[in-house]
Structure 1
């Protein structure tokens, strides 16, 4: 198989060739490693590479699960893996090792994935860009290297957009799957709260906002991955939402009635929307209507956006304190304070001032938004919004050299439609339907009712059939 042929195929297509004996896990891993070196590493998208080990694993791999023997990448988010160390994009956490595999890593491996590296993130995954000092500089957007690929799953989105792998791990606590998926022109679904396991060492992340997931080249790959890895693990604090028998099997089922889709193109606090973001929504609306659905423009619910942004700051800062103090045990402060970027050190200092009542109030804010969004979605199957309020920002626009609060508030304006959905726990996806005249991808977000990934995936698959995006990746191909 040539690298160009590998890059054109999604995960399920490659897995089919593996099962038929038309390729081998070793051949695919050889190509993936070659492309990682040629494409992903020049854009600073990978860390903790285990290329030679992965090649040996692929040489003797058993074709287990739906993706038996497929090359895969784990986000450097601290998801526990005995094979791959982690830094979470921080010099303070460099080379963190694990004595166990997280439940999700076990499920990825049972699905047949072979992880051969981690993907780059901002420090502690706390930014909508990927510019960690620990990684030696920013991760670059493959469509325009002067722009950010988004964050915090920036390296994963870059690797998928470049065809290095068809599927990569991501996580999302405030848009961290959907932001880079939009910036890099790929599909990224944030699942409902509780759908994917977080154990055995963790019960929740960021007060219930965070979840894991994947970034993919096609909708069907995401559906097939969910079939393989979804479901709560023993002792999980949240029950997994009810699932269909198969997300993948449902993709080809026609809807028995037109969907009713709410559209947001107005903002809280009159935050401006870039014309290309509005054009992306209008393009998606036309496709939805052409497919027989109804789109109704309505205003966002009456949510105190500033209050929510401040609640999110409090929860992130509190989590920063816990993470940093855990790593700092037994280390004098002068040994580790200089290892943190200014905004993260600011988060630590601010977090130390928080009271228990501040944290409880922030969680109550999230829970109120969850109730508000449930009421708001009554009568609608989906919500259509821009993914971001502007084009992928240029490198350095959202800098960790700012003070923590300013940094987070700037990011909140950029990602205005995203973290609200983490608070509500609903599923949401970036769908890559639109590229502007300069060739920059501009995503749209589809939000479903809690526990209804199925409708998002089926609608996204319809849109993919109406306006296929996989061919647009061809301009990224180099060599092969």
Structure 2
């Protein structure tokens, strides 16, 4: 049972150089010389220290953070963190795993260089569940990352450490990535904006290029829509994929009236809980009041999609087990956690299905495209039920029970990873009875992050997102 201490709200907002600025506002204050970048970095580090004992969100601290590499970048001087599954020169990359001892890496990952080009100041690396497999950031033999809105609950996963720090006000923006919902899930749990870009919108890391289906996309979690929009614009100035339409800087809602489909229950048959259904229904009503047309839609994906995605998930765990010594000479797959082991062992029993699984997953784009005929966006829940208490999805839960719980929770997000389409989680106006945030999700056509951001801007302007510091 959670103690009173575990059930409290935690935040770092105070009267210092960061104030209540989002990343865009803080960068503007630095450019106007109202505050200095060194002062901001110092105060952000103090904020992290103030909440870290309660949140357990940081994996590695940078002792002497340097200003971002691009002084005129959109986020010049803005403090941030990178997730501990992307290489940052001089820091170890641990992937959330106890199966090996990570060593300092010799170069930045391609995405890290793209992120640094925006001018951010990196203060360290954030925690994630082992190899990003879990929708909660919990461990077998370590303290979990806690949700700043209600510390007895999950911060989501796999970008849970980043989401916890941003929601708590330690930094205004942080790196996240998404291979099955890992940007959008923690954003929903922590009341943030979390946009998973189109496959190929950002530079790809080496691991992504080696996957049979590249399901992983980097991005950020933020407290405002304009921060996520500014991040994508800055990333595009560093490198733009010529195969995708240019995005530019999206600065607010559009006057366009959209046709938006919505569904409340997952195509795989999982029914959403009452609070989640209410959040989506309320959002649909708000959109209609704003002049958009909202109508029910069906996403007729293959009924084997969930089983197929689970097999693919298991393939990834199997490949890590086989190639683990690339992470470190001391890698021991027997030390991987219960979820990773369970996924790997299940895959070993079903590996012969792999070619058929890959064929069916690749065909999901046809069903996705069919659902969008005559529509601009689709509105759904992010998750089938609201944020669970810590322990519900922990890797210590026996695998058959754990995977059943995960599939009953993560029932909406993986489709976008398989198809490669953009999707954004934004906070709903409503909350759970415990005051926890509830996220709603918009999915778009390939390359159409602009429409996602415009509708997110409209909802934010209509009713500003709830803030943890106001509780």
Matched residue, 1:272: 271
Q: 1:241: how far off? A: 2.0
SS of equivalent residue, structure 2 residue 442: strand
Following the alignment from structure 1 to structure 2, what is the Cα–Cα distance between the partners of residues 240 and 392? 37
Matched residue, 2:302: 304
Q: State how many pairs are aligned.
A: 458
Matched residue, 1:198: 204
Q: 1:5: how far off? A: 6.2
- In the alignment, which of 228, 236, 244 is matched to residue 241 of structure 1? 244
In angstroms, what is the RMSD of aligned CA positions? 2.6
Matched residue, 2:113: 106
- In the alignment, which of 318, 323, 341 is matched to residue 321 of structure 1? 318
Higher mean C-alpha displacement, 447-456 vs 346-355: 346-355
Matched residue, 1:49: 61
Q: 1:228: how far off? A: 1.4
- In the alignment, which of 332, 336, 340 is matched to residue 336 of structure 1? 332
Higher mean C-alpha displacement, 93-102 vs 453-462: 93-102
Cα 1:205–1:331 change in 2 (3 A) is: closer
5+ unaligned residues in a row in structure 1: which ranges? Answer: none
Once the two structures are superposed, what CA deviation does each residue of 1:298-328 show, in whole Å capped at 9, x if it has no partner?
A: 3x322234x2122122222222222233224
Once the two structures are superposed, what CA deviation does each residue of 1:48-86 show, in whole Å capped at 9, x if it has no partner?
A: 111x221xx24x977231111111110112x12213212
Equivalence map 1:255-270=2 (5 Å): 255-256=255-256, 258-268=257-267, 270=269
Following the alignment from structure 1 to structure 2, what is the Cα–Cα distance between the partners of residues 44 and 472? 21
SS of equivalent residue, structure 1 residue 214: strand
Cα 1:161–1:2 change in 2 (3 A) is: closer
Following the alignment from structure 2 to structure 1, what is the Cα–Cα distance between the partners of residues 422 and 37? 33
- In the alignment, which of 219, 224, 229 is matched to residue 223 of structure 1? 229
- In the alignment, which of 1, 26, 29 is matched to residue 17 of structure 1? 29
Q: 1:421: how far off? A: 1.8
Equivalence map 1:340-355=2 (5 Å): 340-355=336-351
Following the alignment from structure 1 to structure 2, what is the Cα–Cα distance between the partners of residues 200 and 266? 35
SS of equivalent residue, structure 1 residue 212: strand
- In the alignment, which of 403, 414, 417 is matched to residue 422 of structure 1? 417
- In the alignment, which of 69, 81, 99 is matched to residue 77 of structure 2? 69
5+ unaligned residues in a row in structure 2: which ranges? Answer: 1-12
Q: 1:148: how far off? A: 0.6
- In the alignment, which of 45, 49, 57 is matched to residue 33 of structure 1? 45
Q: 1:192: how far off? A: 0.9
Once the two structures are superposed, what CA deviation does each residue of 1:137-181 show, in whole Å capped at 9, x if it has no partner?
A: 211111111211110011111111001111100011111111110
Following the alignment from structure 1 to structure 2, what is the Cα–Cα distance between the partners of residues 322 and 420? 22
Following the alignment from structure 1 to structure 2, what is the Cα–Cα distance between the partners of residues 108 and 332? 29
- In the alignment, which of 395, 398, 407 is matched to residue 402 of structure 2? 407
Matched residue, 2:131: 124
Following the alignment from structure 1 to structure 2, what is the Cα–Cα distance between the partners of residues 347 and 270? 22
